[in-house]
C-alpha cells in the first residue's frame, strides 16, 4: 500500500495522478488516494499566502517549463491554466465523498484534466457536476454531501494527517512504514520502497 | 556540452558532482563545471539569509532523509555535517582557478567528500590546501590566486550568469540551447536533452 497525497491546484500532482495507478498496479502495490489542501501547510510552514511558484517567479518560470517537459515525456496534454493556482477546496471535498464507492481516482483525474487541459474553473460546482456524473455518481447528492460537516471534517483531518506525516508539498507519497517521498519524480522510488518493505514483511 | 552549476554548501550538489562525469561520458556529452554561490540568489529571489532547508525545518528534515536515500542508491557515503550550510566561497574561488588546468572536477569532488563525508570545514584554507595538493596543484600559489581580484571577479560573473540563466537552486544543468534543469534527479533528463539537441544540430 502507498498513500498518494495530492492537491487539485498543484501542478505536479497532475502527472502523478495520471500515472500513479498504472505504475502501482505494475508494482503490485495498492494506492490510497489522499486529497488534501496545500494552502494551510504553505501558510503555517513558510508564511506564504500564495503558491511558491507565484511568490517566487523565477521558480514559477522554471516549473511551467519543467512541467511541460514532464508532460511531453508522459504523452500528457498540458494547457497553462488561465488562473493559477485554482482553489481545490470543493473538488477535494467531493473527492472525499467518493472514497468508499471507489470513484475518487477517476473523478480526480477528470478534475486534473479540467484544470490543466480544458482550463476550467474547478472551484465551481457547475464545473464539477458533469465530472461527478462522468464517473457514475449523482451530482446533486454528492455536492450536497460535500457541503456537509462530516465531509468538511474529514478533509480537515486529511490536512492534519499530512502535517503529521511531515508533508510540505504535493504530490507526496507515504509508504506503509511511514517513508515520505515528495514529488511526481519520486513515484518510482516510493513504489520500489513499498515493494521492498512488503517483501521484508512477508519474508 | 552541458553546464553543471554547483555550490559547495549545497547538499544535492554532492551526489551530482560525484556522478556527472560518468553519466556525461556515457552519453558522449562534455561537462563545463560552473562553481557559483547560492546565497546571493536565495537572498535576492526569496529574501532568505539562510538555506531554505534551515529556514523551513519541515523541508530540511525531508531533505536529509531523501539525500540519505539518494546516496544509498548511488553507493555514496554520507555523514550529516556538523555545520550546515558550510560557506563555499573560498572553495568556489579555488575551483575557478583550476578550470584552465583541468583539475576543477577532481578538486570539487574532494571538497564534497570533505564536507559531506569527512565533516571538515571547507571554508578554511588549511582544509582546502591538502585537497589542492591532492589534485597536483600548488596550494600556496593557488590560494594566493584565489584571493586575487581577477578570480573574485570571475566568481561574481558566474553568479550573474546563473541569475541570467534563471537558476534558483543547485545543482542545475544548462544545455547548449539554454534549457535549464534543476536538481540532481534531473541530470539524466538534461543529458538526454543535450544528446537530442546535438543530434538535431548534426542532422
Reported as a single tens digit per residue, the pLDDT across B57-105 is: 999 999 999 999 999 999 999 999 999 999 999 999 999 999 999 999 9
Q: Is B168 close to A69, i.e. CB distance below 8 A?
A: no
Partner A contacted by B180 (CB < 8 A): yes
Angstrom distance (rounded) from CA A30 to CA B20 = 35
H or E element that contains B2:
strand B2-6
Q: Which of B34-64 are b and which e, b meaning 16 or more Cβ less than 10 Å from the residue's Cβ?
A: bbbbbbebbeebbebeebbbebbebbbebbe
The percent of residues in chain B predicted with pLDDT above 90, rounded, is: 97
Cα distance between residue B56 and residue B40, in whole Å: 18
Region A152-159: what's the mean pLDDT? 98
Beta strands A2-6 and A31-35, pairing class: parallel
| Averaged confidence pLDDT in chain A | 96
Q: What is the pLDDT of residues B121-163, one digit of tens each?
A: 999 999 999 999 999 999 999 999 999 999 999 999 999 999 9
- A-B CB pairs within 8 A amount to 39
B58 close to A (CB below 8 A): yes
Q: What is the pLDDT of residue A198?
A: 80
A42 contacts on B by Cβ (under 8 Å): none
Query: What is the CATH code for B2-202?
Result: 3.40.30.10
Q: What's the confidence (pLDDT) of residue A199?
A: 62
Q: Are A154 and A96 in contact (CB under 8 A)?
A: yes
CA distance B129 to chain A (A): 37
A181 vs A185: CA distance, rounded Å: 9
**What is the SS3 assignment for B3?**
strand
Check if the beta carbon of residue A143 is closer than 8 Å to that of residue A132.
Answer: yes
Say if the Cβ atoms of A180 and B62 lie within 8 Å: yes
Contacts of B99 (CB under 8 A, 6+ apart): B33
Chain mean position to CA B36: 7
For A:114-133, CB contacts with B below 8 A are none
What pLDDT band is residue B192 in, cutting at 50, 70 and 90? very high
* Strand blocks (E) in chain A: 2-6, 31-35, 172-175, 180-182
Q: Which residue has the cell 529556514?
A: B55
- SS3 state of residue B146: helix
Taking alpha carbons only, the member of B61, B185, B52, B55 closest to residue A165 is B61
| Cβ neighbour number for residue A201 with a 10 Å cutoff | 9
Q: Are A94 and A38 in contact (CB under 8 A)?
A: no
Tell me whether 0.95 is exceeded by the ipTM: no
Cα pseudo-dihedral A80, A81, A83, A84, rounded to 10: -70
Q: Cα separation of A16 and A156, whole Å?
A: 22
The reported pLDDT for the residue numbered A178 is 96
Measure the CA–CA gap between B58 and A43, rounded to whole angstroms: 13
- Chain A residue with minimum CA distance to B46: A56
Rounded to a whole number of angstroms, the distance from the CA of B6 to the nearest CA of chain A is: 17
DSSP-derived letter for residue B175 is E
Is the pLDDT at A131 greater than 90? The verdict is yes
Contact at CB, A182 and B69, closer than 8 angstroms: no
| In chain A, domain spans | 2-202
Percent of chain A topping pLDDT 90: 97
pLDDT computed for residue B202 by the predictor: 55
pLDDT of residue B200: 61
Residue A202's pLDDT is what?
A: 55
Show residues of chain A in contact with B69, CB under 8 Å.
189
- Write the DSSP assignment of A100-143 as a string of letters: TTT-HHHHHHHHHHHHHTS---TTSHHHHHHHHHHTT--HHHHH
- Inter-chain touch A168–B62, beta carbons under 8 Å: yes
Q: Please say if the pLDDT value at position B107 is more than 60.
A: yes
Q: What confidence tens digit (pLDDT) does each residue in A18-62 have?
A: 999 999 999 999 999 999 999 999 999 999 999 999 999 999 999
Q: Which residues of A touch B62 (CB under 8 A)?
A: 166, 168, 180, 182
Q: Looking at the partner chain, which of A61, A180, A185 has a beta carbon nearest the beta carbon of B166? A: A61
The confidence band for B55, taking pLDDT boundaries of 50, 70 and 90, is: very high
Residues of chain A contacting B181 with CB distance shorter than 8 Å:
66
Alpha helix (H) ranges present in chain B? 13-27, 39-46, 52-55, 57-74, 89-97, 104-116, 125-134, 139-146, 149-164, 187-202
Grid cell locating B50: 539562510
Interface test with A, best of B42, B48, B166, B191 (most A CBs within 10 A): B166
Give me the pLDDT at residue B96, please.
Answer: 98
> Could you report the per-residue pLDDT of B69-79, keeping only the tens digit for each?
999 999 999 99
Is residue A58 less than 8 Å (CB to CB) from chain B? Answer: yes
Look at residue B203 and tell me whether its pLDDT is greater than 80.
Answer: no
Statement: residue B201 has pLDDT above 60: no
A41, A163 contact by CB (below 8 A)? yes
pLDDT above 70 covers a percentage of chain B that reads: 98
- What does the alpha-carbon distance between residue B20 and residue B109 come to, in Å, rounded to a whole number? 11
Cell numbers at B162, concatenated = 546563473
What's the mean pLDDT when you consider all of chain B?
96
Query: Helix, strand, or coil here: B182?
Result: strand
Beta bridge mates, B179 = none
Report whether pLDDT(B172) > 90: yes
B74 touching A, CB under 8 A? no
Helix (H) or strand (E) holding A192: helix A187-202
Amino acid at each position: 500500500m502507498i498513500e498518494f497525497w495530492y492537491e487539485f491546484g498543484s501542478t505536479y500532482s497532475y502527472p502523478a495522478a495520471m500515472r500513479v495507478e498504472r505504475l502501482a498496479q505494475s508494482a503490485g502495490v495498492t494506492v490510497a488516494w489522499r486529497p488534501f489542501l496545500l494552502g494551510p501547510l504553505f501558510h503555517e510552514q513558510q508564511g506564504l499566502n500564495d503558491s511558491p511558484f507565484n511568490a517566487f517567479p523565477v521558480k514559477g518560470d522554471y516549473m511551467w517549463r519543467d512541467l511541460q517537459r514532464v508532460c511531453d515525456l508522459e504523452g500528457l496534454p498540458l494547457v497553462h491554466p488561465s488562473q493559477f493556482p485554482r482553489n481545490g477546496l470543493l473538488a477535494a471535498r467531493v473527492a472525499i465523498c467518493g472514497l468508499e464507492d471507489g470513484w475518487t481516482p477517476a473523478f480526480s483525474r477528470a478534475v486534473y484534466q479540467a484544470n490543466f487541459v480544458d482550463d476550467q474553473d474547478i472551484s465551481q460546482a457547475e464545473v464539477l457536476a458533469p465530472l461527478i456524473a462522468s464517473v457514475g455518481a449523482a451530482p446533486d447528492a454528492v455536492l450536497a454531501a460535500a457541503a456537509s460537516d462530516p465531509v468538511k471534517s474529514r478533509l480537515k483531518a486529511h490536512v492534519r494527517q499530512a502535517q503529521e506525516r511531515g508533508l510540505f508539498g504535493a504530490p507526496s507519497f507515504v509508504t506503509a512504514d511511514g517513508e515520505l517521498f515528495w514529488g511526481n519524480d519520486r513515484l518510482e522510488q516510493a513504489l520500489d520502497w513499498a515493494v521492498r518493505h512488503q517483501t521484508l514483511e512477508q519474508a
